[in-house]
Structure 1
Amino acid sequence: MLNEYLLFLAQTVTLVFAVLFVLAAVVRMRQEGGVAPGRLQVRPLNGVFRQRAEALRRAGASSTWRGRLRRKLQRGSTDPGAVELPDKRVYILEFRGDIRARAVEGLREEISAIIAAARPGQDEVILRLESPGGAVPAYGLAASQLARLREAGIHLTVCVDRVAASGGYLMAVVGDRIVAAPFALIGSIGVVGSLPNFHRWLRNRDIDFEQHTAGAYKRTLTLFGENTEADRERFREDLAHIHEQFKGFLRRYRPQLDVETVATGEFWLAERALEAGLIDALQTSDDCIMAQREQAHLLEVDYRQREGWSQRLAVVTERLFGQRNAMERFGPGLE
């Protein structure tokens, strides 16, 4: 009787949780349906830098100096260390790339806003970039978004503090200038495509798999069918074609680069990357930004887009399984 009761209780609890989960999902989707797609946030940084510097100066100042400062503030001077800035504006963006370059959705909104507001030949953009690469279409789109700035006549500096490899470097190369911290990873100019095959496992269990296509190359390598050497050769040709397009993109934006020497799939620390011509200078993004604080208005631009529950679940799942496993699931990519 106890066993039967426990079984009944488990079934009841499972049913209740299933109903609650469905109801919560429905409510969530209805709520998200009415939410605005996102909001553009702009944060001036000059005042932030001056306030921090002033705080450090005040910490070591005498009480007499602090008294003079207090009286100056009371007379209406809100920032005694302020300097008159020229009319130039530097927009600061940040891109943290994952396997699918999901941040490109926010990047495109930020760039559209900057192009609408910036003055070609006068204003600039600094991009803090961090990405180990990912899917070809996603990073191709991200690089194309940055190319919009170049086409609009807006100078672009790309800063790499940790890593800009493969698809990440595909984005970085669009910049008029690339700077990187000394131990940042640069390069990995290559293409990889991989997927498991379960054909023998199915065959050993007497399970047939059928796949019909129209077109000789509609499908090459498959998960469940038997892959032939001709299929593999065609797949390798596709990867080689993507690699050639990758190298052509590099030649367009960095004609001084010896592409055949660097496009081997390996990566370099930034010091070696500088010698190879992959970057232009060794510098952290912080120094690059602070060097502009007396010559321009620094504006940090960030487009915040609310993610649905399905997107957040996908992010958590990808983090659990790791980026390399995700690459193997999604096929050809810039890694």
Structure 2
Amino acid sequence: MSALKSFISTFSLFLQKVRTIILDLGTALILLFLIIAVAGALFSSGPDVKDPSGRVLFIDPAGSVVDQEAFNSDFLFNVGGDPSAEQIQTRDLIKLIRAAAEDSDIPAVVIDFSSTDFAGPTTAINIAKELKALRESGKRVIAFNDRLSTTSYLMASQASEIWVHPVGSISVRGLGGMRNYNKDLFENLKINFHNYSQGDFKSATETNWRSNMSDNDRMQREALLFPIWDEMKSLMAEGRGIQADDIQSFADDYVGFFGEAAIGNIAYAQANNIIDGTKSFPEFRQYMIEEFGLDEESETETYKTISYSEYSKQIDDDISESGNQIAVITAEGTIMEGDISQGVAGANGVVKQIRSAHEDENTKAIVFRVNSPGGSIIASEMMRDELRAAKNKGLKVIVSMGDYAASGGVYISTPADFIFAEPTTITGSIGVAIALPTFENAMDYIGVNFDGVVTSKHGGWDLTQPIDDDLDKIFASWGADAYDRFVNFVAESRSKSYEDIKAVAGGRVWLATDALEIGLVDEIGGIDSAIAYAAESAEIDDYKVEYYGQELSPEELILKELLENFDVSLGEPRVLSALDGISKLYETLIDIREPKALFTCKDCLVDLD
């Protein structure tokens, strides 16, 4: 025994030394990076400002297009990481595109969205419409890609011409996807799943206790996906001067999976005006030199270009001196307790922003931008409570719904005086998701027994034990009470009866145009419409718009500024796109270690490629 204790003690000391060395090394690397960055700031004038006159603007966002950028708490330790993990705010990208449309010094724009993720279908459609307006302004827009997917082709189709590499890829696969249904697996593993979800359409947990998709879930998904897909096809077809059926045929018969060497797809696309043709990288470069001239300042032979990051720094900000402020606060991603991070609408952070806004005497109204399919009940309550505190001060609260404002996204919208939603916003899902596994059969099978002493009937219960009748009633009432509270809040918010809201609730997901008809939203419109309405409601003509973002510490702010000024990527470890990130977070949430009721909507997440 003494030998074992000696070994453990020695090993513990070894681990402490290793930990100390690792921490010291990490700290040294961070300090070295900061020293280099600060030295660069002191002894360099920064990057040269390139004159955009006569230069082709190159727009190739690499990263995720989101409503509001957010940073993980450990971003200081991830500099130099994955450069594709950048975040591009939707409003910044739109501002850039609109500025280019009005800039007579820019002869053309080249676009490549093959490395761009979008928060959801509405964001993608909105950016495509901005590119369409850019082309219709008379600006020459040229798309050149080595690979095109559904969303990147949606962007490219708005260009004046589309060129693809001869051995690249083009594949328009449409929307939707498959979910795994695990009932048989759990039965084989002797795991029992108990469903206490509220709402006949609330299918967030049905993959755990069904072998296939329920009829209700199939119906609501079809009601969402087909109209959104029709809108995308319409934009693609209109941009290319072809029919929507041509896009559908291409999607059905020329699907691609490998991202390269889709030679048959490219040949079909060229023959049917889906693209203009093919060019290799040298051929495209020579084509652009012939069209727009040789860049005499470049070290290599190329055409005159300016990157979108260089150009964006030269766009004048709309700075208002008004003492009136419209505060725009964003809840984007999974609603959870804690701080804001990528793909997570952290309630602590969002509440802090709301409080900061309503405590500012210059704030005349709040626009609450919701781009979330829900999450934690208590976190949703925290946001709702703080919005009500703002209303109690006489401030108008206007909600602007983005790609998703469903389940918890609806819950946090209930204090609104008025709700705007985009045409393809996914909303509704007024219900409660709760399902939990128990492992009593598995424990029995492997020969594990439990015994002990408790001072209350269920004091020793956990997921390794069965649910008796009394506990079953407790869990059922738990979900029912949360659902009843949800329906009541929505009914009060929408000035409708409990029965009216319950009739359209049931966990069902609605497209915004349908939600408007049943009274869940007030008007179809984007965030600009919401801001204008907020100003009108506050009875102010002169105002500035203040976008509230995540607060960083002084050292984080300094590092962020240094990195941005010298074009160094923050290198976030894997930005959670508001699709993949939210989906992964839901999988974590549903992997219950303790029973938990959630306002979540897995039904509303649309798979884009």
- TM-score, with length taken from structure 1: 0.69
Q: Which residue of 1 aligns with 2:6?
A: none
- In the other structure, the counterpart of 1:66 is none
- Which of the residues 492, 497, 500 maps onto 1:252? 492
Structure 1, gaps ≥5 residues long: 1-14, 32-36, 38-45, 62-78
Give, in angstroms, the shift of residue 288 of structure 1.
Answer: 3.3
Distance (Å, rounded) in 1 between the aligned partners of 2:526 and 2:333: 18
Alignment partner of 1:118 is 2:361: yes
Superposition pairs for residues 144-293 of structure 1, below 5 Å? 144-210=385-451, 213-216=454-457, 222-256=462-496, 258-289=500-531
1:230 offset after TM fit, Å? 3.2
Aligned residue for 2:324? 88
Query: Amino acid of the residue matched to residue 357 of structure 2?
Result: I
- Aligned to 1:172, the other structure's residue is in SS state coil
SS at match of 2:491: helix
Q: Distance in 2 between matches of 1:281 and 1:211?
A: 59
**Structure 2 residue 106 is the aligned partner of structure 1 residue 106:** no
Question: 2: distance between equivalents of 1:80 and 1:96?
Answer: 27
Of structures 1 and 2, the one with the larger relative CO (CA 8 A, separation 6+) is: 1
Matched, 1:304 2:542: no
The answer as to whether partners of 1:50 and 1:82 remain within 8 angstroms in 2 is no
Q: Which amino acid aligns with 1:252?
A: E
Q: What is the one-letter code of the residue matched to 2:545? A: L
For 2:411 and 2:502, the matched residues in 1 are separated by 15
CA distance in 2, matches of 1:81, 1:110: 23
Distance 1:80 1:184 in 2: 31
2:423 maps to a residue whose letter is P
User: Shift of the alpha carbon at 1:111?
Assistant: 1.8
3-state SS, counterpart of residue 190 of structure 1: coil
Q: Which has the higher helix share?
A: 1
Contact 1:91 1:124 in 2 (8 A): yes
What TM-score, normalized by structure 2, do the two folds share? 0.40
Instruction: Identify if the C-alpha distance between structure 1 residues 248 and 217 changes in structure 2 by more than 3 Å, giving closer, same or farther.
Output: farther
Q: Residue 64 of structure 1 aligns with which residue?
A: none
Q: How high is the sequence identity, in percent, across the aligned residues? A: 20
Shift of 1:182: 0.9
Report deviation, 1:233: 2.5
Is the contact between residue 180 and residue 279 of structure 1 (CA under 8 Å) also seen in structure 2?
yes
Counterpart of 1:129 (choices 365, 370, 377) is 370
Partners of 1:85 and 1:295 within 8 A in 2:
no
CA displacement at 1:88 relative to structure 2: 3.0
In the alignment, the residues of structure 1 paired with residue 483 and residue 541 of structure 2 have an alpha-carbon distance, to the nearest angstrom, of: 42
Residues 305-320 of structure 1 mapped to structure 2, 5 A cutoff: 305=552
Cα distance 1:19–1:81, how it changes in 2: closer, same or farther (>3 A)? closer
| Distance change >3 Å, CA 27–CA 115, structure 1 → 2 | farther
Task: Kindly indicate whether the alpha-carbon contact (under 8 Å) linking 1:210 and 1:225 is maintained by their aligned counterparts in 2.
Answer: no
C-alpha RMSD over aligned residues: 4.2
Residues 240, 113 of structure 1: alpha-carbon distance in 2 compared, 3 angstrom cutoff: same
- Check 1:184–1:210 CA distance in 2 against 1; reply closer, same or farther (3 A cut): farther
Secondary structure in 1 aligned to 2:545? strand
* Aligned counterpart, 1:333: 598
Describe the shift of the 1:57–1:201 C-alpha distance in structure 2 as closer, same or farther (beyond 3 A): closer
